[in-house]
Amino acid sequence: MKLHKILQFGIIALFISFGIPTNTYACMLASGCEGKNVNLYRSLNQGHEDIQEAELPPSAFIRVRNNTGNADQYAGTTKTLFTFDGNGSYDTETSSSSLEVRFDFENDGKLDTFYSRNKSASHTYDTPGEKTVKMEVLDRQGNVSTAYEKVKVVENAPPDAFFTVSPYSGTPSTVFAFDTKSSFDSQYSKNLLEYRFDWESDGKFDTKFSNRNIWEHRFDTTGVKIVTLQVRDPEGATENYQQKVTINPNTDPTAQFTTIEQTSNGKAANYRVDAKNSNDPDGGPLLYKWDYNYTGDNDIIWDTTYTSSPTNFANFYKAGEYLIKLMVKDKDGATDTSILKIVVDLLSTKTK
């Protein structure tokens, strides 16, 4: 004990001889003094000027990141992993790679990490509230600086599920488009939400979870269908939304057309056929095909394939009577036919 006191007295006397305040020695014994040199004894043999230079503490900076995918990296939930990064800290005497940091994640006086040259640490907060993280930076001379940052932690809530559908009604051939982009979440970015559908709300989801927004589906049977959307956030919280669509029985189209002679030069007659008055009660597009010399039920040869144009042209090189047959087809595959007779004499033409 006496030897220990003699050594302490000798060190204090040595500090005084260099003009260093004796409270620096007390700080050194206590350890962890902000902005003070806690290892000045390492530099005593370098002279008074070196010791004064070692009084400069490092500059401490914290960068905050989290895994929510949100623009605001300073907020999250009780499941959010926050990463605190002190790599932006620097010092005039010590290289950045040699600086060491430690963290107190809740600034409660209980250090959560040891000094390390690995200057980042991650933490998840169990309780909501505004949290203050404290970081201490230590340089090679023992100088310590402190930086603070605040993060906001909230309890997670389920997402808000919603979708639109177009059209609201159709037939079994109708492709319905479901758009989920109006769903949102109060804690997570939309691009982290996932969606799945139960097309008839029978309790069995027909799709797997996916983060795409546009979904398409056809219904095989008629009736009013209740469609269920389920939205899931990254923490597994879900919410459902339901909407009705109506599937009507398909109505057959009606085929109608007219013929108009365009030219006749004694060798050939050219006719324009026009089916624009054909219609589909369900409002869908029609396809058209033509037989310009229909001979009866056993005639299975068509002069054209299905096209989307209601008009076409036919040339006749022999005088006589011809049956022109039109077939129209709707989007459900239902068909209708119409037949007109024309008389071609290469000089005049009649339509019956």
pLDDT, tens only, 261-306: 888 777 889 999 999 999 999 888 999 999 999 999 999 999 999 9
CA distances from 301 to 292, 305, 325, 344 (A): 10, 10, 11, 21
Query: Measured between alpha carbons, how far is 279 from 54 in angstroms, rounded to an integer?
Result: 92
Torsion of Cα atoms, 167 then 168 then 172 then 175, to 10°:
30
Give me the pLDDT at residue 283, please.
Answer: 84
Contacts for 6 with CB less than 8 Å, ≥ 6 apart? none
Q: Which amino acid is at 323?
A: L
Place of tokens 């069995």: 204
b (16+ CB within 10 A) / e for 320-344 = eebebbbbbbbbbebebebebebeb
> What does DSSP assign to residue 23?
H
Q: Measured between alpha carbons, how far is 226 from 198 in angstroms, rounded to an integer?
A: 9
Whether the per-residue pLDDT at 336 is higher than 80: the answer is yes
**What is residue 69's predicted lDDT score, i.e. its pLDDT?**
84
pLDDT of residue 349: 46
User: Which pTM was predicted?
Assistant: 0.67
Residue 41: the pLDDT is 36
| CATH code, 164-247 | 2.60.40.10
Maximum CA extent, the chain: 141
Query: How many whole angstroms separate alpha carbon 326 and alpha carbon 335?
Result: 10
Terminal CA-CA length for the chain: 132
How far apart, in whole angstroms, are the C-alpha atoms of residue 31 and residue 41?
13
| E-state strands within 111-160 | 120-123, 129-138, 144-154
Whether the pLDDT of residue 26 is over 60: the answer is: no
Count other C-beta atoms under 10 Å from residue 121's C-beta. Answer: 19
Helices (H) and strands (E) in the chain, counts: 3, 21
pLDDT of residue 43: 41
What are 99-121's pLDDT values in tens digits? 999 999 999 999 999 999 999 99
Residue with tokens 């001979």: 295
Q: Is the predicted pLDDT of residue 89 greater than 50, yes or no?
A: yes
Closest CA to 307 of 288, 322, 323: 288
Q: Is residue 154 a contact partner of residue 128, using CB atoms and an 8 Å limit?
A: yes
% of the chain surpassing 90 pLDDT: 75
Please tell me which residue, 30 or 33, carries the higher pLDDT value.
33
Q: Which CATH architecture has domain 2-154?
A: Sandwich (2.60)
The C-alpha torsion from 278 through 282 and 288 to 292, rounded to 10°, is -40
31 vs 56: which has the higher pLDDT:
56
Residue 308 CB contacts under 8 Å (≥ 6 apart), including other chains: 285, 286, 287, 288
What kind of fold does domain 258-351 have according to CATH?
Answer: Immunoglobulin-like (2.60.40)
Quote the pLDDT of residue 266: 76
Q: What burial letters (b/e) apply to 202-231, b meaning 16+ CB within 10 Å?
A: eeeeeeeeeeebebebebeeeeebebbbbb
Query: Which residue spans of the chain are classified as CATH 2.60.40.10?
Result: 2-154, 164-247, 258-351
Instruction: Round to whole Å and give the CA distance between 277 and 141.
Output: 94
Is 82 a residue whose pLDDT tops 90? yes
pLDDT-based confidence at residue 51 (cuts at 50, 70, 90): very low
Average pLDDT over all residues of the chain: 86
Residue 258 forms beta bridges with which residues? 274
Confidence of residue 250 (pLDDT cuts 50, 70, 90): very high
